[in-house]
Structure 1
C-alpha cells in the first residue's frame, strides 16, 4: 500500500513518515510539501491513502481533495489540521474524507487509523484501481490522438470512428494560460474542472493540448446552456488558478474534419483576447504584500519574490499593486527606503555606509545616487541641512531617538 503525506512543514511530514514506517515497513511512503508535488506524485505512483494538512500555500487540503476526486476516486483522504473548527470537519466529511485528525497527532491514533483504512482498501480497491488504470491509459491514448488531430497532424491510421459517431455535433472549449513556470498543477486543475463540467452539461472529454493550453470537446444537453457552463468554468478557474488565463470557445461544429481549423482560429483569436485573473481578495492581498515589504525593505526585494509570497503571477501582481497603491512596485520600494534613510540621517552617530546597508543598499555610491535622484540632494547634504534646521532655541542640537520611525 502507498501512502502520501502532504504538509508544508517538513518536521511534521517526516514525523508522520517515521511513525508509519516503523509500524508498517512494507508500505511505500511518499512526501509532498505543496499541491504541485502532489500532482506529480499522483501521476507517477499508485496512491491509496493521502494524509493532508488543511492549510497550505496556495491551496487548502480540502480544495486539493475536491479537485482530485474525479480523477482518483479510490483514494482515501485523511485531513490533518491544527484547527479544530467544526466547519472544517463538516466540509471534509461532505467532500468524502474518511477521517479528520488534529495536530499534534498521537502515534496510537495515527496507527489505529491506518490499520482501519488498510482493512477498507483490500481486494475491492485493487479491482477499482485496475479499472481506473485502464481508464487512465485510454484517456492518455485519446489525448494523444485528439491532440494530433486538433493540430492538423496525421494520426497514423488510428480509428476515431466511435468518437465521431458519439459527437455528430459538438463545440470546442480552449483554456489558455500565461506563465513562465511549468504548469503541472494548473493543467491538473483545468483538466479536472473541465472534465467535471462537461459531464454535468453534456458528454465529451478534456485533453491537454500543449504546455499552456487544454481543449474540451462537448456535445451539450439540449436543456443546458454553453453560456452557463463557461461562466461556471470561469468562476472555478478564478478561484483555483494562480496564473492569468483565457477561455475561448467555438460555435456548434458538425464536421470532425473542421477541428484543426477551429483550433487554429481560437489560437489566433487568443492574441487579442484579454487574460483573466483569479479572485485575489484585492486589497487584502496587497495589504499582506505591503506588510512584507515594510518588514523586509532592507533585504533584496524583487517583484517576483513578493508576488510569490501572496501566490500571484508577477505580471498580475504588478498590475494590482499599481492599481491599489498608485505606485509601481519598484517605485514604492525605493520611496519607502529613501524615507527610512531620511530618518536615519538625523542620527549623526550612524555612518553613511551603515545607513545605506540598513535600507537595502550594499553599495554606498548606488545609495547616494538613488537618494539624490529622489530628493535632488545628496545624503550628506540632507544631513547637513537637517542639522541646521533642528537646532533648538538655546542653540543645541536635538535628535530623535534612533528607534523612531525605523
Structure 2
C-alpha cells in the first residue's frame, strides 16, 4: 500500500506519517511539501491513497485533485482542512474525495480512514488488475502507434484501419512550452491532464507526448462547429495552471490519417517559426488582429504582454508581432503605449484624479516613467496638459484664465 501526504506544514505531514508507520509499518509513506511536488511524485510512482491539504501555496488541494483524478482514477483521496476551511472540504468531497480530516488530526480518526480505504484498495485491486492491465496496454499501444506516425517514423505493417474507422474526421492540437532547460515534467503532467479532460468533455480523442516540451492532442468533437470553444477552454485552463510560457497551434479539420506526419510537421514549424502558418484561410490574419485590437481596447489597463495577446488569438508571438505591425502600421508595444496615453489624456480631464492614480490605473508603476512617456508623445507633462485643457475649457465658456 503506497500513501502520499501533501501538506505545506512540516509538523502535520510528518506527524501523519509517524502515525501511519506506527500502525501500518508495512505501508510505504512519502511526503510532499506542496501540490507541485506531489504531482511530480505521482508521475513517477503509483499511489493508492493521497492525503492532501486544501490551502497550500501555489496550486491548492482542490486544483491538485482536479488535474490528477482523470489520470489516476483509482486513487483514494482524503483532504485535510482546518475548521474554518470546512466548506472547501465539502467541495472536495463533491469532486470525489473519499473523506476528510479536520485539524488537529486525531489518531483514531486517521486510523479509521486509512483502514477503510486500504480495504477498498485491496478489494478493487483483485477485481480490476487484469482489466486495467489490458486497457492500459491497448491504450499505450494505440498511442505509441500514433506517436510514431505523428513523428514521421516507420510503423511497419501496423494496420491504421481502427484509427480511420474511429476518427473519420478530427482536429490536431499541439501545446508547446517554452521553458528553456527547466525540468517540465510537472507541466507535461498538467497539459496531458487538462487536454485529456477537455477532449473527453467535448468528444473523443487522446493525448500523446511529442517531445520534451510538446504534447499533441487528437480530438473528434461532438460538435465540430464549436471547436473554437474547445480551444478557448484549453487556453484558459493552461493559463491558470501553467507557470511557463506556452503556445497552442491547431491544424483545422482533417479527414486523412495518412497526412498526419505532414500536418504535425507544419504545426511544429508554426510554433517555432515567425512566418510559418498552417495554410490559414484567406483573411484569418486580419481576423486575428481584429480580435487582438478589440481585446487590447477592453483591457488596456491590464498586463498586456505581446506573448499573452498572441496566445489569445492562437498565434506564434514572433509571427503575431510581424503581422500586427503589417496590419496596424505600428509596432505592438508602440500601439499599446499610444492607446494608454490617449486614455491618460481623457483621465486628466477629471480634476479629482491625481496624476499618480492615473499612472497606476494605466499600468505604470513608476509615475516618473509615465510622465516621461507622456511628454515624449505630447511635448508637455501631464500636469501641463491638464492646465492647458482647463484654460481651453474656460476660454471656450467665455471666461478669463486667472493670472
Q: Normalised by the size of structure 1, how large is the TM-score?
A: 0.64
- Secondary structure of 1:85's aligned partner: helix
1:120 CA drift (Å): 2.8
Establish whether residue 17 from structure 1 lines up as the match of residue 17 from structure 2: yes
- Secondary structure of 2:135's aligned partner: helix
Q: 1:136 to 1:323 in 2, by over 3 A?
A: farther
* Distance in 2 between residues matched to 1:102 and 1:188, nearest whole Å: 29
Counterpart for residue 149 of structure 1: 149
* Distance in 2 between residues matched to 1:135 and 1:15, nearest whole Å: 38
**RMSD of aligned alpha carbons:** 2.7
Q: 1:83 to 1:155 in 2, by over 3 A?
A: farther
What does residue range 282-361 of structure 1 map to in structure 2 within 5 Å?
325-326=365-366
Unaligned runs of 5+ in 2: 276-287, 293-301, 304-361, 370-403
1:160 CA drift (Å): 3.0
1:74/1:128 contact within 8 Å kept: no
Deviations 1:111-139 (A, max 9, x none): 12212222333322443355344433433
Question: Does 250-259 or 84-93 show the bigger shift?
Answer: 84-93
2:48/2:74 contact within 8 Å kept: yes
What does residue range 7-406 of structure 1 map to in structure 2 within 5 Å?
7-82=7-82, 84-180=84-180, 181-222=182-223, 225-270=226-271, 271-272=273-274, 325-326=365-366
1:5/1:30 contact within 8 Å kept: yes
1:74/1:129 contact within 8 Å kept: no
* Distance in 2 between residues matched to 1:85 and 1:9, nearest whole Å: 16
1:144 CA drift (Å): 2.8
- What is the number of residues matched between the two proteins? 285
* Distance in 2 between residues matched to 1:94 and 1:268, nearest whole Å: 43
* Distance in 1 between residues matched to 2:30 and 2:160, nearest whole Å: 38
Counterpart for residue 333 of structure 2: none
2:54/2:89 contact within 8 Å kept: no
1:201/1:224 contact within 8 Å kept: no
1:39/1:184 contact within 8 Å kept: no
Q: Normalised by the size of structure 2, how large is the TM-score?
A: 0.65
